[in-house]
Structures are given as C-alpha cells and as structure tokens.
Amino acid sequence: MPVIGLTGNIGSGKSTVSSRLKALGAEVIDADQVAREVVRPGSPALEELVANFGPGILKENGELDRKATGELVFADPGARARLNQITHSRIKETIQSKIKGFLDRTAASPNPEVLVIDAPLLIEVGLQINVDEIWVVKIDEEKQIERLTRRDGLSPDEVRSRIAAQLPQEEKLKYADRVIDNSGEPAETMRQVDRHWANLLKDHFPVKGGI
C-alpha cells in the first residue's frame, strides 16, 4: 500500500491539497496534529520546552502557546534549533509508528489503500525514507507572501523571516516525484491533484484501477 509524503513550505496551500486527497479516498496523517500531541500538557517534550524557554510559552490552561513560541524561535536561530532538537525526533517517531500501524492494518486488505503524510518538515526530519512518493506543493513567493500576510496578519518582513527559516522550496523540489503548482486558481490546483491521484492509482494498482 503506497505512502505519500506531502510537503511544501508555509503558505504553499499544502493543507488544501491534503484535504482534496482525503476526499479522494486517502487516509491522512497530519504532522501538525502530531506536533500538538507530542507537546500536550504533562508530556516530557513540553516539560523540556518550559525548562529551556520558561513558563512564558504556556497559555493559562497549561497548553503550549504556539503563537508566542513561534515568535520567539523565528526571531532566534539558536532557540529554533533547541525547539527542533526537543520536538523533531518525537514527531518523527510518532509518525513512523502511525505508518507502521497503517501498513499492518491494510496488509491483508483486498482494497487499494493510500496513506498521506501531510508534513511541512517531511524532508527536514528525515521522513522521506519512510514514504514511497514525495509530492511537493509549490507556490510563487509573491503569492506566498500575499497569502500569509492576509491569513496570519504578519508583516511582509515577518513572512520572509519564516520562509527563510525553512528548507528552500527549490531544495524540496529536488526530492519531488510529483509537483503541484498552487500559484494559480484553486480549480487548476485541484485538476493537478486529481491527475496525480489518477496516475498514482494506475502506477500502484494497475488491476484494481482505483479506490
């Protein structure tokens, strides 16, 4: 059963693509949700984060304040490196466990099954070795900045800082088996996703021909 690694930088529209793949029949593991799980209140990761960055990164209810933490680490490469060191290995291990669970559960299934790992840091944390294909969602930088300033209320300089903190889009594209250009109209993006999905099914399920 194929495992797709879906990735793309901040503001690329990766979540839109992920939602479409889910609608087409894929099971989706959301790395952002996993990231929230590993820093839930009482977790070793959250305790380590508080020890490193202080209680100011917590909300009143004891949960991690992701916005405050993001502002802190994007302004300080050293802080970002400490955050990544604390969280990335735990996120990777959790996703690997979920992939194994999917493969074990579907091994004897008579029906085609597809798993999508929706992960902006798929390559950065080394999860590319656990997938059969890498799909990269790309976008023009001008569009990326426009979307993020509108969506997150960030200034263009803040957006550029966050873009610069990620692996460059050009580097991610080197890993891509299939590319989705989300710089145009949404309908065109969906046509690309549907075409890649149809080709995936032909490649991996030539007899069944679909889900």
Q: 146 falls in which pLDDT band (50, 70, 90)?
A: confident
Q: pLDDT by residue (tens digit) across 3-23?
A: 999 999 988 999 999 999 999
Copy the structure tokens of residue 17. Answer: 């693509």
The whole-angstrom separation of Cα 88 and Cα 110 is 35
Q: Is the pLDDT of residue 46 over 60?
A: yes
Question: What pLDDT score does 17 carry?
Answer: 97
Structure tokens at 48: 């380590």
Distance of CA 67 to the CA centre of its chain: 18
Question: Which domains does the chain show, CATH number per domain?
Answer: 3-204 (3.40.50.300)
Cβ atoms of 175 and 128 closer than 8 Å: yes
Please provide the average confidence, as pLDDT, over all residues in the chain: 91
Task: Specify the residue for token string 């990761």.
Answer: 45
Q: Collapse the DSSP code of 41 into the 3-class scheme (helix H, G, I; strand E, B; otherwise coil) and give the result.
A: coil
- CA dist 69 and 49 (Å) reads 10
